[in-house]
Chain A
C-alpha cells in the first residue's frame, strides 16, 4: 500500500509518457494532427544515416570529454576538501563550490560568452600581459568549457561524499607498510572511491548528453547535437514527430543503460583490504 503514491507517480509521469514516445516512434514519418499509420521501424533506420550518426557522435564526444574533464578537475578538488582541508572549513568550501548551481545554467553560459568572445574578458587579459589572443567562442572547445563548468559541482559533490567516508587508517597502514604516496593513492584511495567516481561520471555523462543550451549558445555554427535534432523534429519546420520520437527513445535507452550500470556497480560497498 505504501508503494501506491510512488508507483502512481512513476506510472503517470515516467512510464506513460515513455510508452507514448515509443508508440510515436513506431510510426514512420508521423506528424502532428495525423492519424497513426502502419507500424514500422523506418524511424529507427533513419537514425543510421551518416548525417544523423555524426550528430549523435558529436553528442557522445561532448558528453564523454566533459565527463573526463570534470573527473580530472573534480577529483583533486573533492580530495582537497574532504581529506586535506580543515574540518571546520569543509562545509563552507563545499557551499562555495556548489554556489554557482543556484544560478540558471543559461545565465552561466552567457557569462562564458562574455569571457570567451573575441574581445572578451579572457582575450583582454591575454593581450594586456602580451600573450596572443584565443579564438575560443563558437568552437567545440567553448562547448567543452561550458559543459564542464556546468557539471563540475555535481562531480565534486558526489566525489566528496565518497572521499569523506575514506578510511584514513587504511592510508596510514599502507604508508606504514612501505607504500609510497603514489601507491597509496592508486591501490587504496582510488579503489575505495571507485563507486563515487562511477556515480559522478554517469551523472555528468547523462546530464551533458541531454544538454542543448550550452552547445547551442557556445558552439557556433557546427553545434548540432542529438538534443537539438530532437527539438527540430518536434518544433522545427519539418516536424517529423516519428523520427524525433525514435531519437528520443535512443537517448532514453542510453540513459537507462547508464543508470542500470550505476545501480549495479555504483552502489556496491568498496572492497576492503
Chain B
C-alpha cells in the first residue's frame, strides 16, 4: 500500500449515459462553473419535484424528519439512488449540487447551508472544516460498514480514524487525449512542453490553480504541494512558456471540443475522463508517470445538520456494498469500499483508469492544505497567468 496521503479534489461528476446527456450535463456543468453559487443554490429535488423548498433561504425548520437535504457534487447522486433510499427508509431526499469545495464552504459559512444534513467535502476540505469546528464527530455506533473500507482509507491523514467523515469516492487527475491524432502519445507532464507545437491551441487545462501549478511543479521534479517560493516561481515561469499553446482553462465542458477534434488533449479529473473514454475508444486517459494528484471525497455531517438521524441512514445506505456498487456502475467513480468493488463487473474492476494499479499511484500526491501566505502567492501567479 503506498503511503500516499489522499487529499484533494474539486470537480463535477458526469453522467454515465454520455451520448444521451452530454449536452445537458455540459450546460449544467459549465453553468455551475461560471455562475457558481447562483446555480449551486438551485435546488434539484430528486424524489419529489413538486414540493421543493427554496434554495438557501430555507430555514432549518424546513428539514423535517422525513426529509433529508444533501449538498453534493453534481452526479454523485441520481434519481435511482434517491428513489431506492426513499423506498427503504421512507425519507425523502432533496439534493443540491456545488462545483467546488470552496463554494460549498462559502455557503455554509454564510449560513445558507443549515438545511443540509449531509455534505461531500474532499479530503483537504475535511481537514480544514474540522479545524473550523464545522463537522460533527461521527457516532460510530450508528454507522455500519466502516470496516468495508479498504485499508488505505481506514485511517486517512486528513481525518485520522475517519472520525468526522466517511470516504465515499476517489479518483485521480490526468490527461485525456485523442490517440488517433497525437504521435507520440503523452506519458508525462513534460509532453505538454516537448510537443507544444503539435498541441498548440488544441489543449485545455483544468481551471484550478493548485492542480495546474502542481502539474507544472511536478514536471520540474518538485512536489505537487511545494511551498518553496522559488519552486513556485519556476513552475509559474514554465506555465508562462506554455501559455500561448493553451486554448482555455476548463474543468468542465471540455468533452465536446475533444470529440469534435477542436482540441486533442485536456487535463482532467478521472471521473469525467472515464465516461468519455468508454464513449469514444479514440480517447485515452493517462496518469502522468512522474505523478499527479489523487483525491478522496467524503460524506460528512455538518454541526448545523437539522436531521442527523436521516444523515446516518444515508451514510449507512451508501456503505452497503450493493448500493455503492450500483452507484459506481452508473456514475463511474472509484469506490474505497472493498465488498462493493468485488461486486463490480470485471470490465470495471479491470479498468485501470478507474482503479489504477498501486505502482502508478505511488507517485501521486493528494493536494495538501497550505498556509494563507503561500495560497495567496499561488493565487497571484494564477491571476497573472490568466490575465497576461
On A, residues with C-beta under 8 Å from B are 31-33, 51-52, 54-55, 58, 106-107, 110, 117-120, 135, 137-138, 212-213, 216-217, 219-224, 229, 231-232, 234-240
Q: Counting CB contacts under 8 A, is B209 at the interface?
A: yes
Besides A51-B383, A222-B386, 12 new A-B residue pairs in contact (Cβ under 8 A), listed by A number: A32-B110, A33-B132, A55-B383, A55-B387, A106-B30, A106-B34, A117-B257, A137-B247, A138-B248, A222-B243, A235-B100, A239-B106
Decide: B387 and A119 in contact? CB cutoff 8 A.
Answer: no
User: In this complex, what residue of A is CB-closest to B245?
Assistant: A221
* Given contact pairs A106-B31, A138-B201, A221-B247, A237 touches B262 in the complex (Cβ within 8 A): no
User: In this complex, what residue of B is CB-closest to A212?
Assistant: B34
* Residue among A32, A119, A137, A224 making CB contact with B106, cutoff 8 Å: A32
CB distance from B293 to the nearest CB of A (A): 14
Which residues on B sit within 8 Å (CB–CB) of A236?
Answer: 102, 209, 379
Q: Counting CB contacts under 8 A, is B380 at the interface?
A: yes
* Given contact pairs A217-B34, A221-B249, A240-B376, A235 touches B103 in the complex (Cβ within 8 A): yes
On B, residues with C-beta under 8 Å from A are 27, 30-31, 33-37, 100, 102-103, 106, 109-110, 132, 201, 209-210, 243, 246-249, 257, 260-262, 372, 375-376, 378-380, 383-384, 386-388
Decide: A119 and B383 in contact? CB cutoff 8 A.
Answer: no
Which residues on A sit within 8 Å (CB–CB) of B380?
Answer: 51
CB distance from B114 to the nearest CB of A (A): 15
CB distance from A211 to the nearest CB of B (A): 11
CA distance A240 to B387 in the complex (A): 19
* Given contact pairs A216-B34, A217-B30, A238 touches B376 in the complex (Cβ within 8 A): yes
* Given contact pairs A213-B35, A236-B102, A119 touches B379 in the complex (Cβ within 8 A): no
Decide: B31 and A237 in contact? CB cutoff 8 A.
Answer: no
A-B contact pairs, 13 of them (CB 8 A): A51-B380, A51-B383, A52-B383, A107-B27, A110-B27, A138-B201, A216-B33, A216-B34, A217-B30, A220-B247, A221-B247, A232-B379, A235-B103
Decide: A58 and B387 in contact? CB cutoff 8 A.
Answer: yes
* Given contact pairs A135-B201, A224-B383, A236-B379, A119 touches B110 in the complex (Cβ within 8 A): no
CA distance A69 to B160 in the complex (A): 59
Which residues on B sit within 8 Å (CB–CB) of A222?
Answer: 243, 386-388
User: In this complex, what residue of B is CB-closest to A50?
Assistant: B384
Decide: B387 and A237 in contact? CB cutoff 8 A.
Answer: no
CA distance A232 to B103 in the complex (A): 10
* Residue among B103, B109, B386 making CB contact with A32, cutoff 8 Å: B109
Residues of B contacting A: mostly: helix
Decide: B102 and A237 in contact? CB cutoff 8 A.
Answer: yes
CA distance A54 to B383 in the complex (A): 10
Decide: A51 and B384 in contact? CB cutoff 8 A.
Answer: yes
CB distance from A53 to the nearest CB of B (A): 10
* Residue among A32, A55, A119, A217 making CB contact with B260, cutoff 8 Å: A119
CB distance from A17 to the nearest CB of B (A): 13
CA distance A117 to B103 in the complex (A): 30
Which residues on A sit within 8 Å (CB–CB) of B388?
Answer: 54, 222
CB distance from A267 to the nearest CB of B (A): 33
Which residues on A sit within 8 Å (CB–CB) of B103?
Answer: 235
User: In this complex, what residue of A is CB-closest to B242?
Assistant: A221
Interface pairs A-B: 4 shortest CB-CB = A224-B387, A224-B386, A238-B379, A221-B246
CA distance A236 to B106 in the complex (A): 10
CB distance from B112 to the nearest CB of A (A): 12
* Residue among B102, B201, B246 making CB contact with A235, cutoff 8 Å: B102
CA distance A237 to B132 in the complex (A): 16
* Given contact pairs A32-B109, A222-B388, A236-B102, A138 touches B247 in the complex (Cβ within 8 A): yes
CA distance A229 to B387 in the complex (A): 10
CA distance A213 to B372 in the complex (A): 28
* Residue among A31, A106, A138, A229 making CB contact with B383, cutoff 8 Å: A229
Which residues on B sit within 8 Å (CB–CB) of A229?
Answer: 383
* Residue among A33, A106, A135 making CB contact with B109, cutoff 8 Å: A33
User: In this complex, what residue of A is CB-closest to B132?
Assistant: A33
CA distance A160 to B209 in the complex (A): 46
Decide: A221 and B376 in contact? CB cutoff 8 A.
Answer: no
Decide: B106 and A234 in contact? CB cutoff 8 A.
Answer: yes
Which residues on A sit within 8 Å (CB–CB) of B261?
Answer: 119
User: In this complex, what residue of A is CB-closest to B243?
Assistant: A221
Which residues on A sit within 8 Å (CB–CB) of B33?
Answer: 216
CA distance A118 to B36 in the complex (A): 28
* Given contact pairs A106-B31, A222-B386, A223-B386, A117 touches B262 in the complex (Cβ within 8 A): yes
Decide: A51 and B102 in contact? CB cutoff 8 A.
Answer: no
CA distance A120 to B263 in the complex (A): 12
CB distance from A18 to the nearest CB of B (A): 17
Decide: A119 and B209 in contact? CB cutoff 8 A.
Answer: no
CA distance A117 to B260 in the complex (A): 10
* Residue among A219, A223, A235, A237 making CB contact with B378, cutoff 8 Å: A237
